[in-house]
Amino acid sequence: MRNVSAFLLRRRGGRGWHWTDIFTWFWLIAGFLVMFGPAVWLVNSSFKTPAALAEFPPTILPYVTAETVVEGYDKPLPLYEVKLPDGTVQVLAEVRRIGIVAQMVDPENPGEIIKVNIQDRTPKRSVSFAFDNYVRPLVVNDFVLYLQNSVFVTVMATLITLLTNSMAAFALSKYNFRGRSAVMMLIVATLMVPLSVILVPLYSVISAMGLFNSLWGVILPTVATPTGVFMLRQYMLTIPDELIDAARMDKASEWQIYWRIILPLTAPALAVLAIFSVVWRWNDFLWPLIVLSRKELYTLQVGLNTYAGELNVQWHYILAMTVVTMIPVVLVFVFLQRFITTGIAGTGLK
């Protein structure tokens, strides 16, 4: 433990502070705040009520103003700490506010109205989590259904991606045929074509195939990824050809060579591609939004969009469901970080 703290706290300046020490600490702390701050804000805000979200200045933690029921008033009244003219501080309930004067009552003695300058009172607040933000979309609305759709799309798309991309990569790395590098170049070149360019023709294709308003219409156009083919091919090039020769001598068919020799040996690269594919498909928004127009088919990302109406945005639900949507991706990154870094290091892609 002492070694750990010694390692973390050691400075270039020894006992003193070298300017690089100060710079490093500043850089790291600022970076931490910039990267982690929004995530903390998102999670905390997802527990705020709509009123607390609209509050200015914003707070980090979700606060609610304490309220109490006072005899003679129908609605619960908000509580304030009031500094009285004699200097004592008392908790009073606000009945109404007129200009800069608030009319307040003592909950113990509801008969008497006390007039207080609003400068002299502060709301009595406590931290409270609005779990309803989570419960309502998940229980009352269709978010569980959206979750199922998202899981289905992600799992199927990832499985098909792994299968097709590895087959393409196998052919492009282990077979010698005329035009092999041209095909490879063509595949990699498609990286330069953004989705928005092919959106309309792709829509026509999907529509003509009758896949409009079907989860397969979301899955199928995404399964052939140039990144995946490129990454797997580069990995397969490192598998010695002698293994394939040996398998041929062992009477293995081409399918067996692929399935029993190449695929198991490509496992590390497949793991990386699987992680990428899960993250990509989980976060997909534009294409599912176009293909899916029936509510029961929505994926999570499209479902989130339903809370942003033209006139009214339900921020509390959006924030809460954004947290839910993020959880799987965060878990993937936390537990499979090692594979992701090797993948990025191995291909120079992300």
Partner 1 sequence: MSRITLTDVSRSFGSVKVLHDINLDIRDGELIVFVGPSGCGKSTLLRLIAGLDRPTSGKIAINGEDVTRVAAADRGLAMVFQSYALYPHMSVRQNLAFGLENARMPKPEIEQRIAEAARMLNIEPYLDRRPGQLSGGQRQRVAIGRAIVRNPTAFLLDEPLSNLDAELRISTRAELAALHERLSATMIYVTHDQIEAMTLADRIVVLRDGRIEQVGTPLDLYNKPANLFVAGFIGAPRMNFLPSDKLPGTAGSTVGIRPQHLRAADGKAKLKAKVTLVEALGYETVVHGLLDDLPLLAVLPGQKSFEAGDTIALTYDAENLHAFDEQGQRVD
Provide φ and ψ at 229, rounded to 5°.
Answer: -60, -45
Q: How far is the CB of 165 from partner 1 (least distance, A)?
A: 20
Q: How far is the CB of 143 from partner 1 (least distance, A)?
A: 42
Binding footprint of partner 1, residue count (CB under 8 A): 17
Q: How far is the CB of 183 from partner 1 (least distance, A)?
A: 21
Q: Is residue 8 helix, strand or coil?
A: helix
Nearer Cβ to partner 1, position 97 or 260? 260
Nearer Cβ to partner 1, position 166 or 314? 166
Q: Which residue has the tokens 């176009």?
A: 290
Is residue 17 within 8 Å of residue 11, measured between CB atoms? yes
Nearer Cβ to partner 1, position 116 or 236? 236
Nearer Cβ to partner 1, position 99 or 240? 240
Q: How far is the CB of 339 from partner 1 (least distance, A)?
A: 18
Map the footprint of partner 1 across residues 140-159, applying CB under 8 A.
none
The total of other beta-carbon atoms located within 10 Å of residue 108's CB is 10
Residues contacting residue 53 through CB under 8 Å, at least 6 positions apart: 45, 315, 316, 319
Map the footprint of partner 1 across residues 94-133, applying CB under 8 A.
none
Percent helix, strand, coil in the chain, to 5, is 60, 15, 25
Q: How far is the CB of 193 from partner 1 (least distance, A)?
A: 35
Determine the length of the chain: 350
Tell which phi-psi region holds residue 213, choosing left (phi > 0), alpha (psi between -120 and 50) or beta: left
Q: Which of 312, 283, 318 is nearest to 299 (CA)?
A: 283
Map the footprint of partner 1 across residues 14-73, applying CB under 8 A.
none
Q: How far is the CB of 267 from partner 1 (least distance, A)?
A: 8
Is residue 121 within 8 Å of residue 85, measured between CB atoms? no
Q: How far is the CB of 244 from partner 1 (least distance, A)?
A: 9
Burial (0-12, 13-18, 19+ Cβ within 10 Å), 188? middle
Nearer Cβ to partner 1, position 15 or 251? 251
Q: How far is the CB of 269 from partner 1 (least distance, A)?
A: 14
The total of other beta-carbon atoms located within 10 Å of residue 226's CB is 19
Map the footprint of partner 1 across residues 214-273, applying CB under 8 A.
240, 242-243, 245-253, 256, 260-261, 264-265
Is residue 232 within 8 Å of residue 169, measured between CB atoms? yes
Nearer Cβ to partner 1, position 1 or 249? 249
Q: What is the CA radius of gyration of the chain?
A: 30
User: Distances in Å between the alpha carbon of 54 and those of 59, 63, 165?
Assistant: 10, 12, 48
Nearer Cβ to partner 1, position 113 or 267? 267
Nearer Cβ to partner 1, position 55 or 250? 250
Which residues sit at the interface with partner 1, rule CB under 8 A? 240, 242-243, 245-253, 256, 260-261, 264-265
